[in-house]
Amino acid sequence: MGFDASYWLAFQCNDTTVERIRSTLQLDETDVGRGLFGGLNSSPTKWWDTTFIFKSQYHKTDDGKNYWHLWYDTVNKKAYLLAVSI
């Protein structure tokens, strides 16, 4: 048992693009520092700013089989999107 697919994306974008992603995926805001990583999905890719991610609020949703997590660094205009399918 494990993940069928995990997609770790990091990309430059503006506030409008992030809002469209949030709206389209219907993401809910979470608390800062919630433990996302662990188990089989414990190694974020090298291009992720884990210092930022672990101290920031993020948005997430799932449908029981697919999970989406989105962080957005407003200072550097960089988004981090994790999509996991099980």
Bridge-based pairing state of the strands 59-62 and 78-85: unpaired
Which two three-digit tokens encode residue 75? 């200072």
**1 vs 86, residue with greater confidence:** 86
- Look up the pTM and report it: 0.83
Q: Is 64 exposed, middle or buried (0-12, 13-18, 19+ CB in 10 A)?
A: exposed
Mean of pLDDT values over 42-61: 82
Indicate the average pLDDT of the chain. 85
Question: Quick one: what percent of the chain has pLDDT higher than 70?
Answer: 83
**54 vs 43, residue with greater confidence:** 54
Model confidence pLDDT, tens digit, residues 14-41 = 999 999 999 999 999 987 665 555 545 5
pLDDT of res. 39:
47
